[in-house]
A and B are shown apart, each in its own frame.
Chain A
Amino acid sequence: MSAAGARDIAAMALRNLSRHKAKTAITAVAVAVSVSLYIFMDGWLLGMNLDSRRNIVSYEIGAAKVQAAAYFEKKDELPMHESFAGWKPLAESLERAGYAVAPRFVFSGTLYSRSGSAPLVIDAVDVGLEGRVLRYPSSLEAGRFPAPGRLELAIGSMAAEKLRVGIPSRPTPEELEELAGAARDAEEEAFVRGLYGPAPEDEAAAALEARKLALKPGASEAELARLWEILSASGRMDVRISTVIDQKAEDGSGRILHVNQLIDASVVGVINSPNPKTNGNVAFMPLDSLQDEAGLMLGGKVTELLVRRSGASDAELPGRDESAAAVREALGPALPPGLEVHGWLDYVDDYIAASRGDQVSTRIMILMLFVLSFIGIANTMLMAILERTKETGMLRALGMTDGQVVAAYMIEAACIGAMGSLAGIAIGCLINVPMVAHGLDYSAMAEQIGGDYGYRITALFRSAWNPPVIVLSGIVATALSAAAALLPSLRALRMPVTESLRFE
């Protein structure tokens, strides 16, 4: 048959669509809902994953880590005795190859403040080098980053709130009394009280319930610094770290010696970065302050070196030249036996598990939606084809081949699918525009789950555009719709033409 003939069959199929406008519309709407939801969910997942990945690299790990093989094996237990000394030559050869390097000694302990205690992971970092690899040192909610050589801490904002150190942004009236009690004179007390007011309008309801006050949004840096100083002078920022130093015995027996240690330190800053891992039960301390008996007796040892290409953009994920293999190659013979290089993805099993789980579960959910709309179309086409049995018989009597009959019905179903897909793509994109530009604030929810659910994003879900998926979802939905007409039309063709013609 000629192209013109194919066009006429398609035109006829299109006109058949208008026979049951309501049914066609409902079916197309079902497809549109599936397609738009798919586009929305996919954009959301992609956005969460992109942001998480960027935040892992920029705020948590860098591109790769150099660690002792024995440490990496048990890294979840933070085995501090598997540390290594002599990291400086390694760092120098990496710097020469264009990498930025930050050393780190990770240990765990319990942090006691005046009002409570919490188990914490403490990263002892080189204050000068840390900022070249990671961005959190400049993500301070209050205070400053610890100074080199001092027993000072910057702690995650959630730990700060729990331990009641730092400057509370939403205190209860009782807490405000406590803050005011820190004042050394009446003028200071008035100053402290003056910085707090009723919670802002939009949070009024929630605030009323919790009877919370709020730090005035207009408070200046200088005012906050003064408040910090007043609170600090009252001892609010003084903390004690209780930890156990694990060291390998000098005799080479492999025995591990445990030494209990108490370190008095003060909190000088509160971290609140886009990566929730830096805001939870973590603290950062200057590495050089822990070298001797007053600290951890480190003697120059570190548990890891963080590596990132020098001057890498935060928006970019690590490239090939930042892979573990590339870093290993840059180190060459400088990498001593027993040390390994691992890429950043080797350290975020929790994120990968959460991301995989979501990929699977949401896709299954959406797949079920697709199946439902497929059933909808199949049903619509089944009814349409059944209703037109006699007509189909006539078309076959006129000499339409089986293939042409199937094609006509599949085109008809594909048109329903295409209308639904186009509408779905339009709706999906319309939803995506604000989701990409502004994202969705979920801070209330984040507060409840403590921010720790694998993804490295805080308080804002932001979608990302995924054009191939947007186009593909429409194509797939249209193709699925067409396929939905296959079985009913084949069924109609099983009847002899005479049977079809007799059908009423």
Chain B
Amino acid sequence: MKVVETAGLSKDYSLNGITVSALRGVSLAFESGEFAAVAGPSGSGKSTFLHLVGCLDAPSAGSVSIAGTDVASLSRRELALLRRGSIGFVFQAYNLIPVLSAAENVSLPLTLLGVPAAEARERAGRALEEVGLAELGKRRPKEMSGGQQQRVAIARALVKKPALILADEPTANLDSKTGREILELMLALNRSEGTTFIFSTHDAMVMEYARRLVLLRDGLVETERTR
């Protein structure tokens, strides 16, 4: 089943009257269970692509379908509910909520889904365990290292068992050893849960992990290969 399908996906930004075409017609499809990297130099449109697929912004042209639904037909509220139910995000900057503990950050998506508090706590605990942070649930983000924070972010993305996890340069802020650990973790989850991962990177080491590699340049797909 196709989890994500884009057709002629384009995005123009206008900044001070100058139009920048971040994406210029990208047509890609991702099957359920894929572990795919979107690679390319800085400014090639990786983040823009992930954001559009994650319904965080609207394309200038082209379309995005999530599990067969063209998201252009959805209202703001329906888009929020789609993100809430089906998509997990991991960002380069972790983006944890600073006033919440690690466990609370992880259970927040479940809370939004209306999962009862006790069950949400229990599932958040298990998700933290899966990323190897069972002991640190009570810590606040600023009391943890970058790698630990990114693990919490991954736990937050996977706790609701979404069909799709989008990770925008998840290792870029981490040293290479920690980066590897994070990628190993993602890969393990992909294998055990069958979660579809699409992550971006400009790091050759990270690309090694991907079973499918899409190379972007200047907003266009340059090459694509599968292992």
Chain A positions near chain B (C-beta within 8 angstroms):
1-2, 4-5, 8-9, 12, 15-16, 18-19, 390-391, 393-404, 496-499, 501
Contacts and interface: CB of A to CB of B under 8 A. Distances in A.
B116 A12 contact: no
Contacts of B126: none
A501 B166 CA distance: 14
Contacts of B93: 390
B74 interface: no
CB-CB nearest 9 A-B residue pairs: A399-B84, A497-B56, A15-B99, A2-B114, A394-B95, A498-B57, A399-B83, A401-B80, A496-B57
Among the interface residues A16, A395, A497, which one has the most CB atoms of the partner chain B within 10 A? A497
Contact of A399 (B48, B81, B97, B98): B81
A396 B99 contact: no
Contact of A394 (B48, B57, B97, B117): B97
A401 B84 CA distance: 9
Contact-residue size bin, chain B (C-beta under 8 Å from the other chain): 20 to 34
A15 B114 contact: no
Contacts, number: 86
A397 B57 contact: no
Contacts of A399: 80-85, 109, 112-113
Nearest to A394: B95
Contacts of A401: 76-77, 80-81
Contacts of B84: 398-400
B184 to A, nearest CB: 25
B88 to A, nearest CB: 9
Contact of A8 (B57, B58, B111): B111
Contacts of B156: 398
A402 B78 CA distance: 11
Contacts of B89: 394, 397-398
B100 interface: yes
B51 interface: yes
A66 to B, nearest CB: 71
25 contacts: A1-B111, A4-B114, A4-B116, A5-B111, A12-B97, A15-B99, A16-B99, A18-B99, A390-B93, A390-B95, A391-B97, A397-B54, A397-B56, A397-B89, A398-B83, A398-B89, A398-B109, A399-B80, A400-B80, A400-B112, A401-B80, A401-B81, A402-B76, A497-B56, A501-B91
Contacts of B54: 397
Contacts of A12: 97, 99-100
A396 B79 CA distance: 10
B109 A402 contact: no
Given A2-B116, A496-B57, A501 B80 contact: no
Given A12-B99, A391-B98, A496-B56, A398 B76 contact: no
Contact of B58 (A4, A390, A402, A496): A496
B111 A396 contact: no
Contacts of A497: 51, 56-57
B95 A391 contact: yes
B56 A501 contact: yes
Interface string B145-187: 0000000000010000000000000000000000000000000
B26 to A, nearest CB: 16
B80 A1 contact: no
B108 interface: yes
Given A12-B100, A19-B99, A390-B95, A398 B117 contact: no
Contacts of A400: 80, 84, 112
A390 B156 CA distance: 17
